[in-house]
């Protein structure tokens, strides 16, 4: 097998990479046939690969397996290859329907990192921690811009996270109540940043029932923000198997919070946190939403996530009365930070971590050519011109006839 690290060509540009120069050199030392496609936007420069003896190329068509991060533009797809990348198709995202259909037409085996899981269903590789780190930082940056109470540098302007972290000690945080949803990788990264900022972590009970003149946050999971439908025989333990049987119980947090950082993986059948109508109520207190999950409305847990923003232009305003996008940082609007490639603000840190996960949890199966079982099989969205066995539910979305 010949492995190719492809350049990222989706707009807006993404500087991350699956494997760093050191990680590529490690595989080559083991006898792996590997090349890196030249790129002028990658966080690791071409000469950093060359210095470690990693060959560069402008043509990856001779490779069997192509490793990328974001979606490959439709016109750049090479037929009859195995691709690894985040496809954003598995939830029937309309904006990538054409991509999935073209992948099928070109007989490409697509393996999506988002669904590479172990036997228990736990993901084995993700950028989530760094999405949470950057998302939480950007949430506070947005609040600072909105209120003028403090200033934060952008992570995109730093060499790495350590540089950013040193600035937190110089900030006098105003009283602010922050609700952080999710306890997975994203939630873990976000909570890490909030703690390192010196923001107090409190229990859900204290957050809801006690007043404070300090900056504080609460991290909640599904058992705090959903409840069984009236008359349902379902219990909280049944949520993941029957998400449609539950309603939102988030309102009590919405009335107490100035900011929301959303870090859940949302199922399309699960309840939304709140509706557009609820956002109009006087007791809806949230004025900054950092939607790290970034599912785009109307199929989203947050109805004001109208679109993804960019690293260069990270925030838009949402007018809850008009239900439309407006300029941010106005008193009557809710500021929405909805960047969908947050780890790209810390590309070197994020890429290094991702590569370590890839080498530990994914590469051994590739090396053994175990594509028909286990981890790789569970992540195979398409193969042999059809859908993988775990993705037959996409048949109508992909334009295939019923099975």
Domain of residue 103, residue span: 2-125+347-398
Based on the fold, state whether residues 340 and 381 are members of the same structural domain: no
pLDDT of 361-373, one tens digit each? 999 999 999 999 9
Q: Is residue 262 part of a domain?
A: yes
Q: What pLDDT is recorded for position 265?
A: 87
pLDDT of 291-315, one tens digit each? 999 999 998 999 999 999 999 999 9
Average pLDDT, the chain: 96
Q: Is residue 30 part of a domain?
A: yes
- Domain end call among 345, 368, 384: 345
Q: How many angstroms separate the CA atoms of 193 and 133, rounded?
A: 6
Give the C-alpha distances (Å, rounded to integers) separating 121 from 115, 124, 322, 385: 9, 9, 41, 26
Based on the fold, state whether residues 316 and 181 are members of the same structural domain: yes
Report the percent of the chain where pLDDT is more than 90: 96
Q: Is residue 60 part of a domain?
A: yes
Based on the fold, state whether residues 250 and 229 are members of the same structural domain: yes
Based on the fold, state whether residues 194 and 289 are members of the same structural domain: yes
pLDDT confidence of 381, banded at 50, 70, 90?
very high
Q: Is residue 364 part of a domain?
A: yes
pLDDT confidence of 11, banded at 50, 70, 90?
confident
The 3-class SS string of the chain reads CEEEECCCCCCCCCCCCCCCHHHHHHHHHCCCEEEEECCCCCCCCHHHHHCCCCCEECCCCCCCEEECCCCCCHHHCCCCCEEECCCCCCCCCHHHHHHHHHHHHCCCEEECHHHCECCCCCECCCCHHHHHHHHHHHHHHHHHHHHCCCCCCCHHHCCCHHHHHCCHHHCCCCCCEEEEECCCHHHHHHHHHHHHCCCEECCHHHHHHCCCCCCEEEEECHHHHEEECCCCCCCHHHCCCCHHHEEECCHHHHCCCCEEEECCCCCCCCCCCCCHHHHCCCCCCCCEEEECCCCCCCCCCCCCCCCCECCCCCEEEEECCCCEEECCCCCCCEEEECECCHHHHCHHHHHHHHHHHHHHHCHHHHHCCCCCCHHHHHCEEEECCEECCCCHHHHHHHCCCCC
Based on the fold, state whether residues 205 and 248 are members of the same structural domain: yes
Q: What pLDDT is recorded for position 39?
A: 98
| pLDDT > 90? residue 36 | yes
Q: What is the average pLDDT across 262-285?
A: 96
Which of 60, 68, 58, 64 lies closest to 17, judged by CA?
68
Based on the fold, state whether residues 151 and 298 are members of the same structural domain: yes
If one counts the domains in the chain, the total is: 2
Based on the fold, state whether residues 103 and 18 are members of the same structural domain: yes
| pLDDT > 80? residue 403 | no
Q: What is the average pLDDT across 168-182?
A: 96
Q: What pLDDT is recorded for position 159?
A: 87
Q: Read off the CATH number of the domain in which 351 is found.
A: 3.40.50.720
Close Cβ partners of 152 (under 8 Å, ≥ 6 residues apart) = 137, 140, 141, 144, 167, 171
Based on the fold, state whether residues 109 and 190 are members of the same structural domain: no
Based on the fold, state whether residues 242 and 337 are members of the same structural domain: yes
Q: Is residue 403 part of a domain?
A: no
Q: What is the average pLDDT across 36-45?
A: 97
Structure tokens at 15: 């500087």
Q: Is residue 174 part of a domain?
A: yes
* Burial letters 175-195, b for 16+ CB under 10 A, else e: ebbbbbbbebbbbbbbbbbbe
pLDDT of 214-266, one tens digit each? 999 999 999 999 999 999 999 999 999 999 999 999 999 999 999 999 999 88
| pLDDT > 90? residue 290 | yes
Q: Is residue 385 part of a domain?
A: yes
Based on the fold, state whether residues 370 and 385 are members of the same structural domain: yes
Q: What pLDDT is recorded for position 32?
A: 98
Q: What pLDDT is recorded for position 301?
A: 96
Based on the fold, state whether residues 160 and 282 are members of the same structural domain: yes
Q: What pLDDT is recorded for position 12?
A: 82
Q: Is residue 134 part of a domain?
A: yes
Based on the fold, state whether residues 394 and 279 are members of the same structural domain: no
């Amino acid at each position: 097998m010949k492995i190719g690290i492809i350049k990222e060509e989706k707009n807006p540009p993404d500087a991350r990479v699956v494997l760093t120069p050191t990680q590529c050199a490690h595989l080559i030392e083991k006898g792996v046939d590997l090349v890196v496609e030249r790129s002028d936007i990658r966080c690791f420069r071409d000469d950093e690969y060359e210095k470690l003896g990693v060959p560069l190329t402008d043509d990856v068509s001779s490779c069997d397996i192509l490793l990328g991060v974001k979606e490959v533009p439709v016109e750049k797809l090479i037929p009859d290859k195995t691709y690894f990348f985040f496809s954003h198709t598995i939830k029937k995202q309309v904006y990538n329907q054409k991509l999935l259909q073209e992948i099928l037409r070109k007989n490409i085996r697509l393996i999506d990192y988002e669904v590479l899981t172990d036997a228990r269903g736990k993901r084995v590789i993700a950028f989530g921690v760094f999405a949470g780190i950057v998302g939480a930082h950007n949430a506070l940056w947005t609040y600072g811009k909105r209120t003028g109470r403090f200033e934060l540098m952008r992570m995109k302007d730093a060499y790495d996270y350590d540089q950013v972290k040193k600035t937190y000690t110089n900030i006098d945080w105003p009283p602010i109540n922050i609700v952080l949803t999710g306890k997975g990788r994203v939630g873990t990264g976000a909570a890490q940043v909030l703690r390192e900022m010196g923001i107090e972590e409190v229990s859900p009970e204290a957050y809801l029932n006690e007043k404070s003149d300090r900056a504080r946050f609460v991290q909640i999971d599904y058992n705090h923000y959903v409840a069984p439908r009236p008359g349902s025989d379902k219990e909280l333990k049944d949520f993941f198997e029957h998400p449609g049987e539950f309603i939102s119980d988030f309102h009590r947090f919405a009335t107490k919070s100035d900011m929301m950082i959303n870090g859940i993986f949302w199922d399309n059948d699960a309840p939304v946190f709140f509706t557009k109508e609820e956002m109009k109520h006087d007791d809806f207190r949230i004025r900054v939403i950092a939607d790290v999950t970034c599912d785009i409305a109307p199929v989203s847990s947050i109805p004001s996530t109208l679109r993804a923003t960019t690293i260069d232009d990270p925030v838009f305003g949402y007018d809850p009365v008009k239900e439309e996008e407006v300029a941010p940082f106005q008193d009557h609007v809710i500021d929405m930070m909805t960047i969908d490639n947050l780890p790209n603000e810390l590309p070197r840190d994020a890429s290094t971590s991702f590569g370590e996960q890839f080498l530990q949890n994914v590469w051994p199966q590739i090396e053994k050519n175990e594509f028909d079982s286990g981890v790789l099989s569970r992540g195979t969205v398409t193969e042999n011109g059809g859908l993988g066995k775990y993705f037959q539910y996409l048949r109508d979305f992909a334009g295939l006839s019923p099975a």
